[in-house]
Amino acid sequence: MGQKKELTEEQKRDIAMKYEIAEELGLMEKVEKVGWKGLTARESGRIGGIMGKKKRDAAAKGKNSCNTSEEKL
């Protein structure tokens, strides 16, 4: 059997976000009972869509904060 690779910080944040969103959507009980592969395509897509939106929003917020600090210079 192969060795497990160490997760990066970004991967750890993504996993934590996935669990957080599943909890918000009321899917954690299902995930705990049958695992992630027990989710429907719609449920998985919803989680992925929300994750993508949160990442885009965070990136835009970070980008905007850099621009505002440059404008003050």
Which pLDDT does position 66 carry in this prediction? Answer: 61
Which pLDDT does position 4 carry in this prediction? Answer: 81
Q: Which pTM value belongs to this model?
A: 0.76
Indicate the domain borders of the chain. 9-72
**C-beta of residue 34 within 8 angstroms of C-beta of residue 63:** no
Q: Tell me the DSSP string of 3-71.
A: PPPPPPHHHHHHHHHHHHHHHHTT-HHHHHHH-GGGS-HHHHHHHHHHHHHHHHHHHHHHHHHHHHHHH
Which pLDDT does position 68 carry in this prediction? Answer: 53
Task: Show pLDDT as tens, one digit a residue, over the chain (73 residues).
Answer: 667 889 999 999 999 999 999 999 999 999 999 999 999 999 999 999 999 999 999 999 888 776 555 555 5
Which pLDDT does position 47 carry in this prediction? Answer: 98
